[in-house]
């Protein structure tokens, strides 16, 4: 696809599909937030979803960007964040995944993704997934020594009518070192679990696999229940908790 073919979905004014916050951050940590934004380009006409669904957890990780920003500040670490809703393209999924462009998310139908033609699918990949992937790739290349890759997510407290008790999930792919070290550093009073509320078998570790495992980087996927980070106080609390856990876990890794 030539450059001239881009901007069929995202206009030039709507900007690139990914951004780097605190690009000169000094910490050997790269933060990633694939579901940071609920933005749907005007050309896609809200994908046909209703106004109350437009900013639900189906469209983005509620509180995820705020938490990732707070961590970027606290750790002085670069943050790569998506600027487009996962309903347009889920940057934590490879193009081959059926839910990369979901026609249904939990109980929400996404009419604009149903019966998507090949040209439209290719355009979503070219204008959202590839720029995000390239931005993360370039950011990782910019570290002077191999960084730790940490992805930041949030999850809904109720899924298909089932209440979730877990508050903080630490997920891993084939490398479980950092997730387990962070679990050991979890504070009392926060229901923290390994590989919850879902895990690698649900296809959620694409970024870890693609960008960390292949490079041999330490990595973890962090999931916070979104009702706990829906306001500034909650964000500040979890930024502090996670900064402590991560700092402690990385220090333990260096000591062994």
| Positions that interact with Zn ion (CB under 5 A) | 35, 61, 153
Of the two residues 98 and 216, which places its CB atom closer to Zn ion in the complex? Answer: 98
Of the two residues 8 and 199, which places its CB atom closer to Zn ion in the complex? Answer: 199
Q: Is the Cα dihedral 101, 47, 41, 54 positive or negative?
A: negative
Total residues belonging to the chain? 256
CB 159, min distance to Zn ion, A: 13
Q: With beta carbons less than 8 A apart as the criterion, state whether 196 and 166 touch.
A: yes
CB 150, min distance to Zn ion, A: 13
CB 152, min distance to Zn ion, A: 8
Of the two residues 35 and 133, which places its CB atom closer to Zn ion in the complex? Answer: 35
CB 118, min distance to Zn ion, A: 27
CB 221, min distance to Zn ion, A: 9
3-class DSSP state of 112: helix
Residue with tokens 């700092």, as numbered in its chain: 247
Of the two residues 65 and 124, which places its CB atom closer to Zn ion in the complex? Answer: 65
Of the two residues 58 and 245, which places its CB atom closer to Zn ion in the complex? Answer: 58
Residue 136: exposed, middle, or buried by beta-carbon count in 10 A (0-12, 13-18, 19+)? buried
Q: With beta carbons less than 8 A apart as the criterion, state whether 59 and 53 touch.
A: yes
Q: With beta carbons less than 8 A apart as the criterion, state whether 64 and 168 touch.
A: no
CB 153, min distance to Zn ion, A: 3
Of the two residues 46 and 223, which places its CB atom closer to Zn ion in the complex? Answer: 223
Token code pair at residue 218: 């330490």
CB 120, min distance to Zn ion, A: 23
Question: Which of 228, 246, 245, 226 minimizes the C-alpha distance to 237?
Answer: 228
Question: Which of 140, 162, 138, 161 minimizes the C-alpha distance to 149?
Answer: 140
Residue with tokens 């490398």, as numbered in its chain: 175
In 3-state terms the chain splits into helix, strand, coil percentages (rounded to 5) of: 40, 15, 45
d(CA 237, CA 247): 16
User: Measured at CB, which residue is nearest to Zn ion?
Assistant: 153
Of the two residues 85 and 135, which places its CB atom closer to Zn ion in the complex? Answer: 85
């Amino acid at each position: 696809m030539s450059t001239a073919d881009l901007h069929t979905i995202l206009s030039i004014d709507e900007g690139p599909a990914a951004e780097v916050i605190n690009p000169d951050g000094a910490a050997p940590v790269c933060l990633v937030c694939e579901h940071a934004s609920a933005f749907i380009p005007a050309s896609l006409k809200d994908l046909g979803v209703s106004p109350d669904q437009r900013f639900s957890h189906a469209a983005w990780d509620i509180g995820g960007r705020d938490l990732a920003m707070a961590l970027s500040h606290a750790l002085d670490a670069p943050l790569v964040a998506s600027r487009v809703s996962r309903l347009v393209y889920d940057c934590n999924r490879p193009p081959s995944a059926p839910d990369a462009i979901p026609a249904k998310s939990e109980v929400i139908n996404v009419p604009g993704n149903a019966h998507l033609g090949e040209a439209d699918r290719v355009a979503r990949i070219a204008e959202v997934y590839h720029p995000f992937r390239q931005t993360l790739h370039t950011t990782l290349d910019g570290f002077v020594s191999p960084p730790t890759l940490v992805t930041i997510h949030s999850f809904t407290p109720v899924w298909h009518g089932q209440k979730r008790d877990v508050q903080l999930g630490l997920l891993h792919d084939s490398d479980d070192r950092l997730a387990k070290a962070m679990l050991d550093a979890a504070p009392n009073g926060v229901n923290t679990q390994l590989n919850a509320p879902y895990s690698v078998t649900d296809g959620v570790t694409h970024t870890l696999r693609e960008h960390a495992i292949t490079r041999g980087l330490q990595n973890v996927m962090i999931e916070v229940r979104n009702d706990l980070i829906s306001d500034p106080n909650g964000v500040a609390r979890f930024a502090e908790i996670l900064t402590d856990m991560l700092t402690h876990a990385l220090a333990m890794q260096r000591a062994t």
